[in-house]
Structure 1
Amino acid sequence: MARIGIFRSAIIVAILVLILGVGIYTVLQRFASESSQPSYDSFGDEFTLISQDGPISLSKFRGKVVVLFFGYTSCPDICPTDLARMAAAFRMLSKKELEETKGIFVSIDHSRDTVMIVSAYANFFHNNIIGLTGDETTLSKVAKDYFVFFDKAETGDTSEDYTLDHSTTTYLLDREGKVRKLIKHDATTGDLAAAIRHVLKS
Structure 2
Amino acid sequence: MRSLLARLSLLLVAALVAGCGADASSAEFNGVRLEQPYGVPDVPLTDTSGASYSLKEDREDALTIVFFGYTHCPDYCPLVMGSLSAAMNHLSEEDRERVNVTFVTTDPARDDEQALRDYLDGYGSEFVGLTGDLERVVELAEPLHIYVADGAELPSGGRDLGGHTTATLAIGEEDEAVALWKQDTSALEYAEDIHALLADD
Flag whether TM exceeds 0.5 (same fold).
yes
User: CA–CA distance in 2 between the matches of 1:124 and 1:40?
Assistant: 34
User: CA–CA distance in 2 between the matches of 1:136 and 1:163?
Assistant: 8
How far did residue 176 of structure 1 move? 2.4
Of 20, 39, 44, the residue aligned with 2:40 is 44
Aligned residues: 165
1:152 aligns with 2:152: yes
2:192 counterpart residue number: 194
1:18 counterpart residue number: none
Q: Per-residue CA shift, 1:111-150, capped at 9, x if unaligned?
A: 1111111122122211231111111221110111211123
1:141 counterpart residue number: 139
2:54 counterpart residue number: 57
Work out which structure has the larger RCO, using CA pairs closer than 8 Å and 6 or more positions apart in sequence: 2
Gaps of 5+ in 1: 1-32
Instruction: Sort the Cα spacing of 1:163 and 1:66 in 2 relative to 1 into closer, same or farther, 3 A.
Output: closer
How far did residue 52 of structure 1 move? 2.1
1:76 counterpart residue number: 74
Instruction: Sort the Cα spacing of 1:145 and 1:90 in 2 relative to 1 into closer, same or farther, 3 A.
Output: same
Contact 1:122–1:131 (CA under 8 A) maintained in structure 2: yes
1:126 aligns with 2:124: yes
Q: Per-residue CA shift, 1:138-190, capped at 9, x if unaligned?
A: 11101112111232256xxxx44987124110001112221111111122111
Higher gyration radius (CA): 1
1:7 counterpart residue number: none
Instruction: Sort the Cα spacing of 1:161 and 1:50 in 2 relative to 1 into closer, same or farther, 3 A.
Output: closer
RMSD, aligned CA: 2.5
1:98 counterpart residue number: 96
User: CA–CA distance in 2 between the matches of 1:87 and 1:63?
Assistant: 17
Instruction: Sort the Cα spacing of 1:161 and 1:100 in 2 relative to 1 into closer, same or farther, 3 A.
Output: closer
How far did residue 62 of structure 1 move? 4.2
Determine helix, strand or coil for the equivalent of 2:71. coil
Deviation beyond 2 Å, 4+ runs, structure 1:
40-47, 159-163
User: CA–CA distance in 2 between the matches of 1:40 and 1:123?
Assistant: 34
TM-score calculated relative to the size of structure 2:
0.74
Give me the identity figure in percent: 25
1:3 counterpart residue number: none
- From the two aligned structures, give the one with the greater helix fraction: 1
Contact 1:51–1:119 (CA under 8 A) maintained in structure 2: no
2:169 counterpart residue number: 171
Contact 2:85–2:123 (CA under 8 A) maintained in structure 1: yes
Instruction: Sort the Cα spacing of 1:85 and 1:194 in 2 relative to 1 into closer, same or farther, 3 A.
Output: same
TM-score calculated relative to the size of structure 1:
0.73
2:110 counterpart residue number: 112
Determine helix, strand or coil for the equivalent of 1:66. strand
Contact 1:40–1:179 (CA under 8 A) maintained in structure 2: no
How far did residue 108 of structure 1 move? 0.8
